[in-house]
Amino acid sequence: MNNRILITGALGQLGKFFIDSLINQGNYVLATDIKNSNDLNCDFEIFDVHDLKKGDELIKKYKINQVYNFAAILSAKGEINPAKTWDLNNAGFFNIVDICLKNKINKIFWPSSIAVFGKNSNLNFASIDEPMCPETIYGASKLACEKAMYYYNFKNIIDIRSLRFPGIVSNSKPGGGTTDYVVDMLFSAAKKKDFTCFLKNDTVLPMMHINDAVDASIMLMSIDKKNISINSPYNISSFETSPSKWRDTINSFGYELKIDYEVDFRQDIADSWPKKVDDSLLRKDIDWIPKFNEKETALDILKSI
Ligand code: AKB
């Protein structure tokens, strides 16, 4: 593909998987984050998305022609400091657009989330354009940026592509999300430890394997713009699960994971998110289907822990 890609927030849950896949497909990747790292497979620079000057310098220095903008504070952590979350998530979006426009970069990937939905949406099967009144500051910031994304695409100012990620299952520990339990439970099973779950046993949410999320995102970034039939993000998901179902899936591979429940404020967040999303438009537009169902996801990630 031979693009020169800058990734923001590269030390989060998604970064290293995108880096490996983008490099394997022949791209150059510059990873950035606000703290240092030397265990990534590519060049790395400290970069805070508030710093327009540094962003501009990095784009010029590394001759960047695409940005994957992952810098964000997630749903649960966001509730602890709403103003900081709104600022980082929105300033991050707009500053990256600004820096890209200034440097004539015309393609950005920016992930949205199932957090944009709310109790006024059809939570049993959320379509792409439900009424949305998110109940977290994270969801509100994602929805605000979705509206801006629509504007930039509709006006042909810059090409921004996006998927509304569900819970992502990987062997990299997430931080501050409401869907984090899926990963934490796999680590507990692998380490033969009991798990205390912060969501009720029957809380169903959509999920997907990190490799499917990465593949779909890179496919979306690669296809011709004429195949993209919407100006806003696509829904995406692979399977739906709940804490008790996920435990049973894990234990079907011979683990003996025991869970108890200490439900906290994250339950209210999960109750305002869809149990299932309709991602048929994405599947049609980019000709994508997930490779991993629930069992295949659990087994594959357990093997890699
Ligand atoms: C979270 O739980 O906050 C994220 C998300 C679904 O956006 N994983």
Q: What is the mean pLDDT of residues 237-266?
A: 98
In this model, does residue 174 exceed pLDDT 90? no
Q: What is the pLDDT of residue 73?
A: 97
Distance 115 CA to ligand 1 centre (A): 7
Using the atom order of ligand 1, give the atom closest to the CA of residue 13: 8
176 and 193 together in one domain: yes
DSSP 297: H
Is residue 247 in a domain?
Answer: yes
Is residue 225 in a domain?
Answer: no
CATH number of the domain enclosing 201: 3.90.25.10
Q: Which of 77, 138, 179 to mutate to test the pocket of ligand 1 (most atoms within 8 A of CB)?
A: 179
16 and 117 together in one domain: yes
Q: What is the pLDDT of residue 38?
A: 80
The amino acid occupying position 17 is: F
DSSP notation for 53-114:
HHHHHHHHHTT--EEEE-----HHHHTT-HHHHHHHHHHHHHHHHHHHHHTT--EEE--EEG
Q: What is the pLDDT of residue 39?
A: 82
Domain interval for residue 248: 168-206+238-304
Q: What is the pLDDT of residue 173?
A: 87
Check if the beta carbon of residue 294 is closer than 8 Å to that of residue 301.
Answer: no
Instruction: Find where tokens 């979705």 sit.
Output: 146
94 and 182 together in one domain: no
Q: What percent of the chain has pLDDT above 70?
A: 100
142 and 202 together in one domain: no
Backbone angles phi, psi at 145, to 5 degrees: -70, -30
Is residue 268 in a domain?
Answer: yes
162 and 124 together in one domain: yes
CATH number of the domain enclosing 65: 3.40.50.720
Using the atom order of ligand 1, give the atom closest to the CA of residue 142: 7
In this model, does residue 9 exceed pLDDT 80? yes
Is residue 31 in a domain?
Answer: yes
Is residue 103 in a domain?
Answer: yes
Q: What is the pLDDT of residues 179-225, one digit of tens each?
A: 999 999 999 999 999 999 999 999 999 999 999 999 999 999 999 99
Q: What is the pLDDT of residue 57?
A: 98
59 and 24 together in one domain: yes
* 204/227 Cα distance (integer angstroms): 32
Q: What is the pLDDT of residue 175?
A: 86
Active site (catalytic) residues: 138
Is residue 296 in a domain?
Answer: yes
Distance 176 CA to ligand 1 centre (A): 8
Report the number of distinct structural domains present in the chain: 2
Q: What is the pLDDT of residues 222-251, one digit of tens each?
A: 999 999 999 999 999 999 999 999 999 999
- The overall average pLDDT reported for the chain is 97
55 and 185 together in one domain: no
Is residue 49 in a domain?
Answer: yes
In this model, does residue 1 exceed pLDDT 80? no
Question: What is the band of 75 on the pLDDT scale with cuts at 50, 70, 90?
Answer: very high
Distance 260 CA to ligand 1 centre (A): 22
Q: H or E element: which one contains 15? A: helix 15-24
Distance 247 CA to ligand 1 centre (A): 20
List the residue whose alpha carbon is closest to atom 1 of ligand 1. Answer: 177
160 and 201 together in one domain: no
186 and 85 together in one domain: no
77 and 133 together in one domain: yes
With a CB cutoff of 8 Å and minimum separation 6, the contacts of 155 are none
Q: What percent of the chain has pLDDT above 90?
A: 97
Q: What is the pLDDT of residue 301?
A: 98
Q: Which of 14, 73, 110, 138 to mutate to test the pocket of ligand 1 (most atoms within 8 A of CB)?
A: 138
201 and 275 together in one domain: yes
Q: What is the pLDDT of residue 112?
A: 98
3-state helix, strand, coil in the chain (%, to 5): 40, 15, 40
Q: What is the pLDDT of residues 79-101, one digit of tens each?
A: 999 999 999 999 999 999 999 99
Is residue 83 in a domain?
Answer: yes
Residues with CB under 6 A from ligand 1: 74-75, 113-115, 138, 165-167, 177-179
250 and 134 together in one domain: no
